[in-house]
Amino acid sequence: MNLSEMQQLLEPLFPGLIGVMLVEVTPERVLAEMEVRSDLCTTGGILHGGACVAFADTLGAIGTLVNLSPGCTTTTTDSSTKFIAAAKIGATVRGESVALHRGQTTMVWQTSVTGANGRLCAVVTQTQLVLRPREGRQT
């Protein structure tokens, strides 16, 4: 699946609703952008923490998907975020997700979300469980 096909897959889903725009997807790194629209904000015209996490979680999940062996699926078991600075309405945030670990049972991806001038807004670290063909989805 190429970048454009992945983007089309996202459109009707939650990443489409919040405007995740994929920029680069490789097994080593996922890059994307998202405009801080007013309907992604909390009071005060700043990006809602939940929108920021949703943006980042999407990238880490895609990073995991492109590393899965055939027939495997994945589910997020944990996600933890450190919020560092606010991203303002009208800005475009950039997310860069890299793997801290790509194992047979789990993968760990960390996404840095940066705002204007490359300022770090949040760091999201998530654990993805790798589910082999015969295993169910239930954790």
Compute the least distance from the CB of residue 26 to its own copies, in Å.
Answer: 20
Contacts with its own copies in 11-70 (CB under 8 A)? 12-18, 38-43, 48-51, 53-58, 61
Select the residue interacting with its own copies from 6, 31, 68, 79 (CB under 8 A).
79
Nearest Cα to Cα of residue 51 among 64, 43, 63, 42: 42
Nearest Cα to Cα of residue 85 among 125, 119, 126: 119
Compute the least distance from the CB of residue 38 to its own copies, in Å.
Answer: 7
Q: How far apart are CA 103 and CA 77, in angstroms?
A: 15
Select the residue interacting with its own copies from 70, 82, 133, 134 (CB under 8 A).
82
The answer to whether 9 contacts its own copies (rule: CB under 8 A) is yes
Residue type, 45: G
Q: How many residues bind its own copies (CB under 8 A)?
A: 54
The gap from C-alpha 87 to its chain's centroid, in whole angstroms, comes to: 16
The answer to whether 92 contacts its own copies (rule: CB under 8 A) is no
Using only C-alpha atoms, the chain has a radius of gyration, in whole angstroms, of 15
Nearer to its own copies, 16 or 31 (CB): 16
Total residues belonging to the chain: 139
Nearer to its own copies, 13 or 66 (CB): 13
Residue 45: both structure tokens together: 């015209």
Q: Which long-range contacts (CB under 8 A, 24 or more apart) does 8-16 make?
A: 10/58, 14/54, 14/58, 15/54, 15/55, 15/58
Residues that bind its own copies (CB under 8 A): 9, 12-18, 38-43, 48-51, 53-58, 61, 75-86, 100-101, 103-106, 108, 110, 120, 123, 125, 127, 129, 135, 137-139
